[in-house]
Each structure stands twice: as C-alpha cells, then as structure tokens.
Amino acid sequence: MPVVLRDAWTTFVPDMNGPDGPLPPLLLALTVLTGLVDAFSYLLLGHVFVANMTGNVVFMGFALAGAPGFSALASAVALAAFVAGAWSGGIAVHRARTDRGRQLRHALLVEAACLAAALVVSLVSGRPYTGGARFTLIALLGLGLGVQNAAVRAVAVPDFTTTVLTRTITGTVADSRLAMGPGSRVGRRGLSPAAMLAGAVAGGTAVLGGPRELPLLAAVVILLGAVAVTVVLGRGDAPWTRPAATTT
C-alpha cells in the first residue's frame, strides 16, 4: 500500500491501543464542524468568523480602515467570546488533566450546550439575523469554538488543530522530500484541509440553499457523537486516555 494511503487509513482507522487511539478521527470530525460553523457565521452573521481568530483580527483591521461589509464590533464580540470559551475550556480540561478522554468529553459537552443554544436562537429569530440576535449568535458560537480549541490543545494530537490550517499546510510542504525534508506525511496532514473544506462546502450549500440552521444542527450532532465515542472507548485504562507529553 502506498505510504500516502497507509497514513490516511491509519488516521481514519487508528490502532485503539496506540498512544492517540480514536483521537485523530474525532479531531477530523471537529475540523468538519469548524467548516460548518464558520460557513454559517461568515455568510449569515456579517463577515465574521467564530473559529478563525486570525481572520477576525484582519477583518477588524479592514473595518477600522473603513472597508464596507465588515464590523469591528462583530469581530470584537467574536474575539471576546472565543477568549471566554478558551478560559472555560481550560478549566474543564484541567479538572480532568489525568484523562484525555474526560478532558475532551467535558469540553465538548460545554461546546454542545453553546451550539445547541445558538441553534435555538437561530430558529426563533427572524432572518436576516440582526441586532441582538446576531450578536447573541456570534457570542454563543465563539464561546463554543473557544472551548473546542482549549480541549484540542490539551489532548495534543500532532497535526490536528481543528481550526488553524496554516501550520499544518506549512509542515506538509516544508517537510516534503522536494524540500529535502524527512517526508510530508501528506496522507495524514492533508486530511485536515480536506475535512475543513468538506465542512465549509456543506455549510455553505445549506446556508445558500436552506435550511440555514442545518450547519448548526449538524455541528451539535457531531459533538454528541464525539462525546459518545469518548464514553464508549474511554472506559478502563485505555492508552490513549493518558496525558499527552506535550501541548500544541
């Protein structure tokens, strides 16, 4: 089997007795979630991301420069909510620091609550989302994705950040044989951009063609599924639940 296909296969179907167990496919699912939710926020909430904070800083700069279609306040709310989510997610994972399964489960339950609340707000609010409804959605989604990032950082699976792809893409290219590196591991690293692209395409399709709330519903389902996996596969002293040696 070619190395690329082997790396992809072992990422999708990992060794449950390995150091990361089911975490790689779970984090890929969360990467799809990121694409779904950012498609919803960018296309419906006024050019603002709730997961990609680098983009929000740039958007804030555009708004302050007077570029039309961007809101410094919306970007600031997203940033503040994300920070609050990272703080609360940090508390959740540090309470379960000896078990990565519980770390991820606790954080994803909090995130699921935030996204479920956002789903409810989106269903009961008029469209387009304006005023208080718009900023409530930005805050809830930013809070949830901040929690997710704190959890992903704590479980520390190499090559999987679920939101930031720049480092992953850089490593893939810079470590390639063409760059005289040790090998790009594109079969593993290439899955993250593909997962986010798939989420963005699905989210964008739903937003543009309806129903618009479908990306949020799908995100909640992904989170609950991930929680169920950590419960079922995290029983006992599974090797992958042990604390990570490093954080990303």
Q: How far, in Å, CA of 215 to CA of 43, rounded? A: 12
Tokens matching residue 18: 């390995």
Q: How far, in Å, CA of 50 to CA of 34, rounded? A: 9
pLDDT of residue 181: 65
pLDDT of residue 118: 97
Nearest to 22 by CA among 99, 101, 85, 98: 101
pLDDT of residue 248: 43
Q: How far, in Å, CA of 153 to CA of 24, rounded? A: 13
The residues of the chain scoring below 50 in pLDDT are: 247-248
Q: What is the pTM of this model?
A: 0.90
CA dihedral 155, 157, 160, 163 (to 10 degrees): 20
What are the respective helix, strand and coil percentages of the chain, to the nearest 5? Answer: 70, 0, 30
Residues 166-219: tens digit of each pLDDT: 777 776 776 666 666 666 667 677 888 899 999 999 999 999 998 899 999 999
Rg (CA), the chain: 18
Q: How far, in Å, CA of 109 to CA of 37, rounded? A: 17
